[in-house]
Amino acid sequence: MYRKSVGCVTILTIAVLILGSLAVCGCKKSETAPKASAPPTQKTPATQTVATNAQTTCPVTGKKIDKNIYADYQGKRVYFCCADCKAKFSADPAKYIKLLEDKGITLEKTPK
């Protein structure tokens, strides 16, 4: 009884060792192969990037904003690309502010 179980464990141990060494071999092979062709990737950009997302595009058309065209709503300043967009914003300001803030844009505060 005792012997039998020991034998079982030994076989299992050997099997595990074989599987383990096979796995290590496979690992080593796959590790060396892509290393040669893999380009050095640098995911993190410049370290001193300002985290705030200032508004740069018109909430109506998505075009570049003109800092001379803006509207103030509930203490927030929203810029537009043209006066037409300002008119559209005025019809539903909350909608466009939500649109911008959903994009992670921090709107300028209305100067006091």
Our finding on whether 71 is near Zn ion (CB under 5 A) is: no
Q: How far is the CB of 71 from Zn ion (least distance, A)?
A: 12
Nearest residue (CB) to Zn ion, 16 versus 92? 92
Q: How many chain residues are in contact with Zn ion, going by CB under 5 A? A: 5
How far, in Å, CA of 78 to CA of 97, rounded?
Answer: 8
- State the Cα–Cα distance between residues 78 and 16, nearest whole angstrom: 65
Member of 57, 66, 73, 82 binding Zn ion (CB under 5 A): 82
Nearer to Zn ion, 85 or 100 (CB): 85
d(CA 62, CA 57): 5
Calpha distance 69→84 (Å, rounded): 10
Which residues here bind Zn ion, judged by CB under 5 A? 58, 61, 81-82, 85
